[in-house]
Amino acid sequence: MSSIARVTTITSRSTVSFEDAVRSGIERANETLRNIEGAWVKDHTVKISDGVITSWQVVLEVTFVLDS
């Protein structure tokens, strides 16, 4: 038996850290997607105001297995 997976792109932002942005993105994706098996951090950026980082953003490629 084989399985089919799908990849979806999610963007998540945090005012705390990159790690927090990743965690929140996965937690939110888990609310609507089933069978999440992994994620790849495709991109990460920061927003800066007056020389200070104000937020961290990640673009995640989330892989989940489709129901059979």
Residue found under tokens 């994706």 = 29
Give CATH for domain 5-65.
3.30.1660.10
- 10 membership: H or E segment, kind and range: strand 5-14
pLDDT over threshold 80, residue 1: no
**H-helix segments, 1-68:** 18-32
Q: CA 48 to CA 3: how far, in whole Å?
A: 43
Q: CA 6 to CA 19: how far, in whole Å?
A: 24
pLDDT in tens, 9-51: 999 999 999 999 999 999 999 999 999 999 999 999 999 999 9
Pairing, β 36-49 against β 5-14: unpaired
Specify the 3-state DSSP secondary structure of 40: strand
